[in-house]
Structure 1
Amino acid sequence: MDRSQRFARIAGAALLLLAPAWADRLVTTDNRVLVCRKARAEGDGYKLEFENGTIVLADKSLVKAVEIEGDMSDYVPANEDERKKLEQGYVKYKSKWMSKPAYEDELRKEAEAARKRTDEIALHSQWNSAWTSESKHFLFTSNTSPELLGHYSELLEAYYALMDERFGIKMSPVLGRTKMKVHIFKSKKEFQNIAEAGYSTLGYFDRSSQELRFFHNYAEPAQTEWVSLHECTHLLTYLIEPQYYPQIWLNEAVADYFGSCEISRDKKGKVVLKPGTLQNDRVLTVQNAIKDGNDTKLDELFLIPREGFDGFQYAHAWSFIYFLNEANPKYKKAFDKFFKDLYTQAKSITYESIPVPSEFDKSGVAKQASPKEIRRVVLSALGHKDTTELEKEWKSFIAAIPLDSPEQRFKRAYIQVAYRGLWGKDREETRKNAEQALADLNAAIEGGIQTARAYATRAEVLQQLDKDSEAEADLRAAIKLDPLSARYRWELGTQLYPGFAGFADEDGFSFSVEVSNQKPPEGEAKEQLGLAAELDPETYGELFGKLHK
């Protein structure tokens, strides 16, 4: 049984355990189909009744469609006038009085329309029946939504135009006018299962199938936009010359710089991209390295092999390309020429044939400019005889970048927490890292970054510092801002349930639990854990079931 089948069975079993006999369905704006006992409009939002509790939505911003399958006639009169009208067989619906048969007929029509829309979304939410579209340069497949499909189509075409204008994309004769495939998955788990991506992978370009693959992160869409553009850079350089085997530091740094675009629209509504958005976490890494005296030197950067290219070197590589494009117009112009010449295999650059893995090229051979040659060409283009002065300019430029805004402080802390950067070599270093992250998050939230993600991130740091009551308050704040988040409810439930621990397997495809508490969860702990399981049965349904064994 493959992973997708395994998860389908787990999710199906969880739904059977959790779903009531009569059920309404609700489609969220991020295209999740939620099953609940009853979904009814209440005030400006909805009241959702689940098996394990009730969720009240203050407004309808999180809801795309509602399908009522249970008792549709439970109308409650709002005043005495309505009560009398009802006694006479009339009901007020959408500001209009109508007979009860007409009212029920209207409800049936609306329910049928909602059912059709829900069925369509549910149908296309499966990868084998996903939506497809074709643009000038790409073939798209996605089970997110038609709106997101259109968004990424427009975004990647705008990026193609930007890079074509900057460097000139003349497709290799080998590829002709081939349109590259773009696969956009609706969840990370599905991306892992179907695209066989690793747990820490957010997206990638697969040369063998000529496919760009990534998942849409509904909680952080800006991250997905960055991933799509970053990986699209690899796709575009492949189009220019499939047989060029790039130096890792340059390849990733360029993708990172140009993939980090400021996205806006002009007066005509056309997408406008401005590359070079500041990456706070990378700046901070290099700034700290400079202070500690262990920063990567430019001559070392030129020589970094693939196996030695980690996150620390990634930050240095990006910062050098950022410096070349942002510090000096002369350097920017020189960089553009160098990069174009490198990938189009200009005669002024010497290339050599090297053996490569078959997954890179079936022939097992590719062309590459050596580190020594790239160093020579870069220094020549920038007008330097050696790296001494250039390195001073680079490091001085990066060291002087301020990182004080609420947005910057939040991102710095979030990256540290999300990628396990809190953990140091010992408890004291870990606590010191957590205290710095907490200071950043406090400043960010007080400065206006009052999002569910900000509160949930701070809760994780507070837990690390053994400040459980404060962490609980932040999780409640996160749930208030994002009441349909299964993750936040699960985190709150586990905090309220002593003796629980959850672990991700190394492959990242499944979770295991360890419970020292011999009693099943009760009270609010059971409510929050149960709601999490109903909101996301694929992730939490099986875990919730284990807690009751």
Structure 2
Amino acid sequence: MAVPRRLALASLLSLAFAGQALADRLVTSDGRVIEVQKARQLENGDYLLVFRSTEVVCPARFVASVEIEGDMSDYVPRDAKEEKMLAKGYVRYNGRWMSKPAYEAELAKETEARRLRTEELALHSKFRNGYTKETKHFQFKTNTSPELLDFYADLLEAYYDIMDKRVGIKPTPKLSRTKMRINIYRSRDDWERNNEAGMRGSVVGYFSFRDESLNFFHDYQDPEFTLWVALHECTHLLTYLIEPQSWPRIWVNEGVADYFGSSDVTRDKKGRIHIEPGKLQVDRILTVQQAIKDDTFVHLEDLFQVEKSNFTAFEYAHAWSFVYFLNNTKKYQKGFKKFFKEFYTVPNSVEYTWEPFPNVQGTAKIIPADEVRRILLKALKVKDVAKLEEEWLAFVEGIELDSATARFKRAYRKVLQAAIDDFDQAKEDLDAAIDAGLEDSRAYWARAMVKAFKDGFSSASADLRKAVELAPLNARYRHDLGMAISGAGLSFGFITVSFGDDSMDKTLEKLDETALHEAEEQLALACELAPDNGDYQEDLADFRSSRARIGK
């Protein structure tokens, strides 16, 4: 009898928590808490981490602290007080010493809590059954977790407040009664399977003016990338609320969205989110600097006129850098804020035409390119565009960059966005960055993805092994290494491997026992490192089912 995927996932997660009666807690240097069966420091200072699936020697720099829990058989007491506790048969748990019965009661309570969470995560693992939350301005839905639901709700409400103070969001009576829908998917694969517009490939998020919804996925490997996407696309949502029938010029719309998308996000002591827009994007600066050097840069007059169909990543970099320049040049800051408000609110002083448009209203206000140019120059108090261009280019040229870091970040963005047309350039950038001595696990992972796309999955293994070496507790790298070894495929946006039982069986039949064991070991370890990631659990379940069928 076929077992429904949700029930199979729940069973797998339950098994993952079985046998965890004794576990140590490890806090990583980046703040994650990982449960391992045993964590012991070696003579050289590194840690031997014993997982259910395998053992890992982890360099000390990745470990912030370790709490030895429950099994005190080889625990070395720190002082006389701890010696007495051990002599009494006490155990250390959650940073406290307690009697064996108290420990067992605490353990039973936590085991039950984990069981309930496992069932809850499985219940909401499909987007149609996702968690929901309604806030002051939005309706959220996600199949990630309750914690991420709360985080994104706080984030986008905080962003609404920022934009409201800057421009003044005054929705129409109808929109004021409507809460925009925010859909957050648990992974890129899940997003590509389920987003309502059928977006995939290099699209990593979008705001739909047709159904008034914001859509993106959470990237567990790189949450900062998700922050950028969420804030970038939410800019489009908020400018829609300001004037739902305005269709802005592409260079302004994307340049502004990218400026606000690149933000520092922090929490204060009271837990409130603070957003500081305008982080420097070194990859975009690198692109414009190289264009200036090669005399291929986009002139301002051309940028003002560019249409959406001709707006590529190259124009994107120029638009963002121009907006960044205006916001970081004192004499233009006030003028650009005035332009920003006038451009998006479309007052009577701005000329526009009504044209048919595929939005909810059926028509849109189209501001001609020359009119956008006029109100910008008026707000900036500029008459000489050539001089303004000289100032902008000089500003960009004056920004000092670390070449290896900038080339890596440019390529990394292309991989995360699955911009396959730019993969040759991405490969050159990654090779140059790595050859220059950049020791960043993300660079090796990104190059593995490019190699997998261009030359096949097996070509990715060496770089994935290096990524694992540099970041041994990264679940994504472990998962992708397991998938690459198995030959079952890698999935990261533009590659969606879909196989029936027979095709996966045939793939695994070609592997020897050593490869099968290592692949399963890596996939299982990924699940231990990221127990809330349902996609990893499903891939492991598929692998094990196939292996059982072929009897290997």
- TM-score, normalization: structure 2? 0.74
Q: Shift in Å at residue 217 of structure 1? A: 1.0
* Pair 370,469 (structure 1): closer, same or farther in 2 beyond 3 Å: closer
CA distance in 1, matches of 2:389, 2:98: 77
Among all aligned residue pairs of Structure 1 and Structure 2, give the percentage whose two residues are the same amino acid.
39
* Pair 194,470 (structure 1): closer, same or farther in 2 beyond 3 Å: closer
Q: Shift in Å at residue 183 of structure 1? A: 2.0
CA distance in 2, matches of 1:107, 1:151: 29
Who is 1:123 aligned against?
123
* Pair 248,483 (structure 1): closer, same or farther in 2 beyond 3 Å: closer
Spell out, residue by residue over 1:510-538, the C-alpha distance to the aligned partner (whole angstroms, 9 max, x if none).
34689999963225422232235544253
Who is 1:295 aligned against?
297
Q: Which of 489, 493, 499 lines up with 2:481 in the alignment?
A: 489
5 Å-filtered alignment, 1:382-393, equals 382-393=380-391
CA distance in 2, matches of 1:131, 1:517: 36
* Pair 41,319 (structure 1): closer, same or farther in 2 beyond 3 Å: same
Asked whether the equivalents of residues 422 and 434 of structure 1 are also in contact (C-alpha less than 8 Å), the reply is no
Matched, 1:456 2:445: yes
Spell out, residue by residue over 1:180-225, the C-alpha distance to the aligned partner (whole angstroms, 9 max, x if none).
2222222222222222431332221122332212111111111111
Q: Shift in Å at residue 469 of structure 1? A: 9.5
Matched, 1:354 2:355: yes
Who is 1:159 aligned against?
159
CA distance in 2, matches of 1:501, 1:123: 27
- Aligned residue type for 1:193: R
Who is 2:520 aligned against?
530
CA distance in 1, matches of 2:74, 2:422: 60
Asked whether the equivalents of residues 140 and 153 of structure 2 are also in contact (C-alpha less than 8 Å), the reply is yes
Who is 1:477 aligned against?
469
Matched, 1:317 2:319: yes
* Pair 206,444 (structure 1): closer, same or farther in 2 beyond 3 Å: farther
- Aligned residue type for 2:342: D
Q: Shift in Å at residue 349 of structure 1? A: 0.9
CA distance in 2, matches of 1:199, 1:214: 13
CA distance in 1, matches of 2:181, 2:413: 30
5 Å-filtered alignment, 1:331-410, equals 331-357=332-358, 360-363=359-362, 365-404=363-402, 408=406, 410=408
Q: How many residues were matched structurally? A: 497
Asked whether the equivalents of residues 508 and 516 of structure 2 are also in contact (C-alpha less than 8 Å), the reply is no
SS in structure 2 opposite 1:323? helix
* Pair 372,23 (structure 1): closer, same or farther in 2 beyond 3 Å: same
Cα RMSD between the aligned structures? 4.6
* Pair 323,518 (structure 1): closer, same or farther in 2 beyond 3 Å: closer
Asked whether the equivalents of residues 11 and 538 of structure 1 are also in contact (C-alpha less than 8 Å), the reply is no
Matched, 1:49 2:39: no
Asked whether the equivalents of residues 323 and 397 of structure 1 are also in contact (C-alpha less than 8 Å), the reply is yes
Asked whether the equivalents of residues 245 and 365 of structure 2 are also in contact (C-alpha less than 8 Å), the reply is yes
* Pair 378,17 (structure 1): closer, same or farther in 2 beyond 3 Å: closer
SS in structure 1 opposite 2:173? coil
SS in structure 2 opposite 1:250? helix
SS in structure 1 opposite 2:247? coil
- Aligned residue type for 1:529: A
CA distance in 1, matches of 2:334, 2:98: 70
5 Å-filtered alignment, 1:22-421, equals 40-43=37-40, 47-50=50-53, 78=74, 93-94=91-92, 108-196=108-196, 197-266=199-268, 269-327=271-329, 329-357=330-358, 360-363=359-362, 365-404=363-402, 408=406, 410-416=408-414, 418=416
Q: Which of 484, 487, 497 lines up with 1:510 in the alignment?
A: 497
Q: Shift in Å at residue 443 of structure 1? A: 5.1
Who is 1:437 aligned against?
430
Q: Structure 2: which 5+ residue stretches go unaligned?
A: 28-34, 42-47, 65-69, 76-87, 528-535
Spell out, residue by residue over 1:41-97, the C-alpha distance to the aligned partner (whole angstroms, 9 max, x if none).
4548963334xx5668899999xxxxxxxxxx9x79559xxxxxxxxxx97544878
SS in structure 1 opposite 2:351? coil
* Range moving further from structure 2, 478-487 or 514-523: 514-523
SS in structure 1 opposite 2:181? strand
- Aligned residue type for 2:234: C
* Pair 211,385 (structure 1): closer, same or farther in 2 beyond 3 Å: same
CA distance in 2, matches of 1:356, 1:313: 24
Who is 1:86 aligned against?
none
Q: Structure 1: which 5+ residue stretches go unaligned?
A: 1-5, 30-37, 63-72, 80-89, 495-499
CA distance in 2, matches of 1:251, 1:146: 32
Q: Shift in Å at residue 370 of structure 1? A: 0.6
CA distance in 2, matches of 1:517, 1:119: 32
CA distance in 1, matches of 2:519, 2:267: 42
Asked whether the equivalents of residues 139 and 179 of structure 2 are also in contact (C-alpha less than 8 Å), the reply is yes
Spell out, residue by residue over 1:403-429, the C-alpha distance to the aligned partner (whole angstroms, 9 max, x if none).
11875454234235555779889xxxx
- Aligned residue type for 1:170: K
- TM-score, normalization: structure 1? 0.75
CA distance in 1, matches of 2:489, 2:231: 34
Asked whether the equivalents of residues 465 and 481 of structure 2 are also in contact (C-alpha less than 8 Å), the reply is no
- Aligned residue type for 1:40: Q
* Range moving further from structure 2, 386-395 or 53-62: 53-62
Asked whether the equivalents of residues 404 and 438 of structure 2 are also in contact (C-alpha less than 8 Å), the reply is yes
CA distance in 1, matches of 2:186, 2:434: 29
- Aligned residue type for 1:489: L
- Aligned residue type for 2:515: A
CA distance in 1, matches of 2:509, 2:522: 19
